[in-house]
Amino acid sequence: MLDDPFYRYFLAWIPSPHLCGVMGRIRDSIGPMPTYVSDWRLHMTLAVLAQSRKPDPAILGEVTEALRDHRLFACTIALQRLAVGSGSAVLLTAGRQDEVRAQQASLMQCLVGHRIVPTHPRKFTPHVTLGYGPQTSGSRAIGPILWLADQLVLIESWVGRTVHRVLARWALPHAEPRQYSIGFASLDAKPGLVRPRRRGERLVGNPDREECLARSKPRA
């Protein structure tokens, strides 16, 4: 008989199903690992909000209220390295990734301003965990995998049970601050902007994403 699960609540960006498949194929190339992160659980953690032995039904309302009027935008993440060892296998970004770090810092500031103090991370290192306990070690360049992070999710993780319950998700508009004034929107609300591809840019992602989100016209 399984013990009662340990509950962890966190905010994360999640990739499209297509990108999860791309990351999953890299994970499968690593070799045996005692614990794999399955495709549908791949994510980039931005803030761990709470951990408890019992479910926390209040956290959804608290986070929703905190994000109601906060401005957070989609950003492009470039995953360019696979690092295996030290107990885990992860996909890492390359370079400064200033846009990514700025959005995470803005989210943390918003949460703290609403008396939600994340327990992790103290220092943000953008990464996607593929699995734990690899029997090999090493590092190599990949991709790059260009990921337009345009969905933020609140997840209830049942630690030890490999269960992720998505409690809420929000669409993140991509906007030019000088041209647009777009707040933080729920996926149930009217969608915002998605950055068009630059000429010559090749995205390793889901080409259908841009067809799912309508573009808003800039204000005059």
Q: Which domains does the chain have, with CATH numbers?
A: 6-212 (3.90.1140.10)
Run of H or E including 24: helix 17-28
Quote the percentage of the chain above a pLDDT of 70. 77
CB atoms inside a 10 Å sphere around CB 101: 15
Residue 3's pLDDT is what? 61
Give the Cα-Cα-Cα angle 168, 17, 177 (nearest 5 degrees): 60
Run of H or E including 106: helix 98-113
* pTM score of the predicted model: 0.75
Q: Which two tokens stand for residue 159?
A: 């630690």
- Residue-level pLDDT, tens digit, the chain, 220 residues: 456 678 999 999 999 999 999 999 999 999 889 888 999 999 999 999 988 888 899 999 999 999 998 888 999 999 999 999 989 999 999 888 899 999 999 999 999 999 999 987 778 999 999 999 998 899 999 989 999 999 999 999 988 777 889 999 999 987 554 333 334 444 433 333 333 334 444 434 433 333 333 333 344 4
Three-state DSSP state, 30: coil
Run of H or E including 210: helix 209-212
Question: What is the distance between the alpha carbons of residues 78 and 162, in angstroms, rounded to a whole number?
Answer: 27
